[in-house]
Structure 1
Amino acid sequence: MTASEETVSAPCRRTVVATIGAAGIAAALTACGAGDDKDSSDAAGAQEPVGGGGAVLAKTSDIPVGGGKIFKDEQLVVTQPTEGEFKAFSNRCTHKQCPVTSVEGGTVNCPCHGSKFDIADGSVRGGPAPKPLPAAEISVADGSIKLL
């Protein structure tokens, strides 16, 4: 070998494993963070009960009997399973934290993987969701629904 020739060594095993591991972590984090929903950064806290500051959320007349209404900004859904009975739950599916998008046929429905939750108690009625929707605290008085 002459002085002008350089020895090029192959990367060591530790470097290869570290590089592959870093690439895998980056891919996983990118997948978890993908989406246009501005609320996706709050998905980790979605399993805790939702609360607010006592602001009026809606009129009782805004919530259909046997149905409900989704409040995207507040990250919750309010239902009226029977006349005069109001319930509130997180709007995040317990499967992959996707926001639910409809309340129909007695269930709160997630479009991502088909999970369905009962409007009366948030329990799982179908799909891959492992747990019920977390309850939120509301008060109902004088025709108004307030988030506590």
Structure 2
Amino acid sequence: MIGFMSEMQPNPQRHSSLPCSRRSFLRGVAVATAATASGALLAACASEEVVAKADAADLEVGGATILDGWVLSRPSEDEYKAFSTSCPHAGGTIDSIERSGDTTVAVCPKHMSKFDVATGDVLEGPSRDPMVPAKKVERNGDSIEITD
């Protein structure tokens, strides 16, 4: 029994062969996590890129156009909106603009989903999700810039 007890005592030589302590390991994990989070935050704050431009005079109030992968609309005199032409239902390409009464509608030919170009809302399914908006749409002089 005495021999058994002596084997159970801590052996400093045995632990010195470990690459790092639990505390050191957790500290390393925390540093790696913080670095990853910082990188993601910096990427999110990076300058946004203008992906499309249009001449403001070419877009009448209540109208819309398709431009470089975006549905660009002008719901009112001083308001511009842009939505991706990628249909949220099944990834088809929204490729036409129609008038339906007083509403301007973007249409995906893949399954005939229809969207209000002023809001991006679904007017007619099968899509249940609205169109995806651009990060920013603003008038800059005589042009409208879409940023994503």
Counterpart selection for 2:92 from 85, 98, 113: 98
Determine helix, strand or coil for the equivalent of 1:80.
Answer: strand
Partner of 1:133: 131
| RMSD over aligned Cα atoms | 2.0
Structure 1 letter corresponding to 2:49: G
The one-character-per-residue Cα deviations of 1:86-126 (angstroms, maximum 9, x if unpaired) are: 10001111111111111121111111111111111101000
- Distance in 2 separating the partners of 1:56 and 1:94: 20
The one-character-per-residue Cα deviations of 1:47-66 (angstroms, maximum 9, x if unpaired) are: xxxx9623661111122322
Note closer, same or farther for the CA distance 1:108–1:56 as it changes in structure 2 (3 Å cut): closer
Structure 2 letter corresponding to 1:114: M
- Distance in 2 separating the partners of 1:109 and 1:75: 14
For residues 2-21 of structure 1, the aligned pairs below 5 Å read: none
Structure 2 letter corresponding to 1:113: H
5+ residue gaps, structure 1, are: 1-50
Which has more radius of gyration? 2
5+ residue gaps, structure 2, are: 1-46
Compute the TM-score of the two structures, normalised by the length of structure 1: 0.58
Pairing 1:65–2:74 present: no
Contact persistence 2:71–2:117 (CA under 8 A) = no
Determine helix, strand or coil for the equivalent of 2:66.
Answer: strand
Contact persistence 2:105–2:116 (CA under 8 A) = yes
Counterpart selection for 2:121 from 108, 119, 123: 123
Larger proportion of strand: 2
Contact persistence 2:122–2:129 (CA under 8 A) = yes
- Distance in 1 separating the partners of 2:110 and 2:52: 30
Note closer, same or farther for the CA distance 1:59–1:130 as it changes in structure 2 (3 Å cut): same
Larger proportion of helix: 2
Compute the TM-score of the two structures, normalised by the length of structure 2: 0.58
